[in-house]
Structure 1
Amino acid sequence: MTSSHDWTTTPITTAILRGALDLERTERGVLPHRLPAAARRQIPDGQLAMAESQPSGVRLAFRTRATAVELDVVATKRVYAGAPPRPDGVYELLVDGRLAGRAGAPDGDTLTIDMAAGTALSRPGPTETLRFTGLPGDEKDVEIWLPHDETTCLVALRTDAPVMDPRPSDRPVWLHHGSSISHGSNATTPTGTWPALAAAHGGAELINLGFGGGALLDPFTARAMRDTPADLLSVKIGINVVNADLMRLRAFGPAVHGFLDTLREGHPTAPLLVVSPILCPIHENTPGPCAPDRSAMGEGRLRFLATGDPAEVAAGKLTLTVVRDELARIVEQRAATDPHLFHLDGLELYGASDHAELPLPDDLHPDPATHRRIAERFAQRAFGPGGPFAPQDR
């Protein structure tokens, strides 16, 4: 910590935290969670437990006249055995909605994951201090967006002027659930994930429940969404159900109905948008499971393969093509009695021509430019004139 400022320390509480559904107090600080404790107790695997603790869309928000801000954090660095090193997570500071600084925590706890062996080993690391200086001295709205893909324990917030709670927002709250693509995989900054960009385009307050590998129609996720106040809801369903080889067609339809039924218990008339998968050539007509390409990893590259047998689709195995058809059918059926339910074909967000121009780098996740394209198209179709989230329709 520097000594050239008269620092004020502000407790990190839910009053200045947006985008998280829970704040866990630990021995080292507070840990934002994107699922509440009741849901976390029912998580059956380490992948989802890790993903929900990564603060995609989570940000500190406050008013201040401070010209300097410091944030102490303990970041969890992921190391994948055999894969290229991951870049450090990015923290972005916004002043009155405009980017005013970026920082990173180069050290922290380390989680070493061996996908082939199914093991994970953790090692504790140090607290790092992020510094943002040279901010304007007038009263302003400040947001610090946490890394979308790096679990972050918040230790202390210091400023050289007092901190006030953020102004009440008149923007609608948009609650979104999806897979690693919604989580932000391959995006390089927390405000560069497609949901964050779409929320900015649409003038909405984002709560992002996109979970890498975890959009699996889990009832505890549906209940968390049911119980979270929101004006607009969307669910992007399909890719994880396919690449996890989780269920067959017979189970998929009722699971979708059950998920939507639960959402409607808490949000009976809110606009609810069901989004089918974007194009992913490896799974368009080939079922899961999905697996890392070992030969590519041996060359220092990360790529994925679909390992299922297309002949098994006739017996009920799921592909993205099957999922899109089933989601369209379900929404059409339900919309007959639910005028606030809508469907968006994911191929409108990213389809064959987009893939020819902007291929998925690892055959599964979009790059930053594709995140921007998906965001622009989602904002146009959802928040734009005539869209289900358009202001005149709310």
Structure 2
Amino acid sequence: MSPFVRRLSLRCLVLSLLLCGASSVAAAEMVWIDLHQLGVEGQAWKEVKAPYDRLPAKAEGVVRDPVWSLSRHSAGMAARFVTDATEIHARWTLTSPNLAMSHMPATGVSGVDLYVRTDEGWRWLAVGRPSAQTNSVTLVSGLSPGVREYLLYLPLYNGVSSVEVGVPAANVIKKAPPRPKHLAKPILFWGTSITHGACASRPGTTHSAILGRRFDRPIINLGFSGNGKMEPEVAQLAAELDPAVYVIDCLPNMNASEVEQRVEGLVEILRKAHPTTPIVLAEDRTYANAFLIPSKAERNATSRVALRAGFERLQKKGVKHLYYLPGDTQLGADGDDTVDSSHPNDLGFMRMADAFDKVLRPLLAP
């Protein structure tokens, strides 16, 4: 080996050691906090099989297998925290290596989403883009100094086995103050792939997340892709909870016959456990291309007739605090708010949030 090569190799070794030392110092200067230490909202049961399951462990073998499998996704879960850090990091491990779907991006399926509370309310700040099953990212840096409250949403269509938030060791990170008592009860959404979150670009852009921020309440997401079917086993579980309002949005997964058979029993299960809690029965959104495909128009029409009939029968029985949300106003007339005529894009979810807002706002008023 020539003297020049030896000198170059030595310099490379020294540089490598210096870089490793710098990395170790940088790593040592970061503090990582498990999300459960900050308080996870949207996880309705604590007796779970895995850290971020949406249904309790006892539901396995009681609900259908697809429902159980989908309940392992972390849709709707979020954590609020306070920090004075000017940079915020996140690391999370997904339960599935499938980061995206053909019609939904990885940021929505498997990413995390950061919002910050401002004087005007919650505002989006940063998204954690997944690139592997285990991810470590800088969510945001260069923030103006100040103590602020943040809200971190978890993946919609993937599960997580661990999630941590990191800040420089010189800064403080802690759990956000408890919500005021009148805002502590969550809004519970039970439904289909749309409720689950398809096809939002980020976890924070679903209609349920938007409404959670508008009303400043936690949400419980019981959306089960393709499997929102008003089943009594799920209804019994939902009846164990004490939300501010139940929103039942299962029609996209049900035909008219199924709706006719199940809607009254579902409401009766919830009403028995909660005599005065508002229950909203929501029609399905209109397929974006139903105006030119008669079979889709008929699908919307028949399921809505069945739901309306069930609603009216329940009213005649004297069931109180029962409300109805039509489907024809949930999406726009321009056809630009879905990815496939069925699943909303971010524009569609905002329009859905506006439609749901009209029925929910009076029910959630102080």
- Hey, what's the Cα distance between the residues in 2 that align with 1:104 and 1:64? 22
Residue matched to 1:245: none
Q: Residue 50 of structure 1: CA displacement?
A: 3.9
- Hey, what's the Cα distance between the residues in 2 that align with 1:14 and 1:236? 32
- Hey, what's the Cα distance between the residues in 2 that align with 1:169 and 1:135? 25
Say if 1:21 and 1:33, in contact at 8 Å, map to a contact too. no
Query: Secondary structure of the residue that 2:226 maps to in structure 1?
Result: coil
Of 344, 348, 357, which aligns to 2:325? 344
Residue matched to 1:39: 59
Kindly tell me the number of residue pairs found equivalent between the two proteins.
Answer: 327
Query: Secondary structure of the residue that 1:53 maps to in structure 2?
Result: coil
Query: Secondary structure of the residue that 1:346 maps to in structure 2?
Result: coil
CA deviations over 1:156-197 (Å, ceiling 9, x no partner) = 443333432221112242111111112221210111111112
- Hey, what's the Cα distance between the residues in 2 that align with 1:344 and 1:271? 13
Say if 1:74 and 1:128, in contact at 8 Å, map to a contact too. yes
More strand per residue: 1
Aligned pair in 2 of structure 1 residues 107, 193: CA closer, same or farther (>3 Å)? same
Query: Secondary structure of the residue that 1:134 maps to in structure 2?
Result: coil
Query: Secondary structure of the residue that 1:177 maps to in structure 2?
Result: strand
Of 275, 295, 298, which aligns to 2:282? 275
Residue matched to 2:82: 63
Aligned pair in 2 of structure 1 residues 266, 164: CA closer, same or farther (>3 Å)? farther
Say if 2:38 and 2:174, in contact at 8 Å, map to a contact too. no
In the alignment, does 2:290 pair up with 1:265?
Answer: no
Query: Secondary structure of the residue that 1:229 maps to in structure 2?
Result: coil
Q: Residue 14 of structure 1: CA displacement?
A: 7.0
CA deviations over 1:113-157 (Å, ceiling 9, x no partner) = xxxxxxxxxxxxxx2212233345433222211122232222544
In the alignment, does 2:128 pair up with 1:103?
Answer: yes
Residue matched to 2:154: 146
Give the percent of matched residue pairs that are identical in Structure 1 and Structure 2. 20
In the alignment, does 2:350 pair up with 1:329?
Answer: no
CA deviations over 1:239-283 (Å, ceiling 9, x no partner) = 1123xxxxx72x542421221122123322011111011112569
Residue matched to 1:120: none
Q: Residue 69 of structure 1: CA displacement?
A: 3.1
1:105-144 alignment to 2 at 5 Å? 105-108=130-133, 127-132=134-139, 133-144=141-152
- Hey, what's the Cα distance between the residues in 2 that align with 1:85 and 1:382? 28
- Hey, what's the Cα distance between the residues in 1 that align with 2:37 and 2:307? 36
1:254-333 alignment to 2 at 5 Å? 254-280=261-287, 286=295, 319-333=299-313
Of 155, 158, 169, which aligns to 2:166? 158
Of 192, 196, 205, which aligns to 2:218? 205
Q: For residue 154 of structure 2, what is the amino acid of its counterpart?
A: L
Residue matched to 1:9: 32
More helix per residue: 2
Q: Residue 349 of structure 1: CA displacement?
A: 1.5
Q: Residue 22 of structure 1: CA displacement?
A: 4.3
Query: Secondary structure of the residue that 2:137 maps to in structure 1?
Result: strand
- Hey, what's the Cα distance between the residues in 2 that align with 1:80 and 1:103? 14
- Hey, what's the Cα distance between the residues in 2 that align with 1:61 and 1:201? 15
TM-score normalised to structure 2 length: 0.78
Aligned pair in 2 of structure 1 residues 369, 42: CA closer, same or farther (>3 Å)? same
Ranges in structure 1 where 5+ consecutive residues have no aligned partner: 109-126, 243-247, 288-305, 311-318
Q: Residue 218 of structure 1: CA displacement?
A: 2.1
CA RMSD, Structure 1 to Structure 2 (Å): 3.1
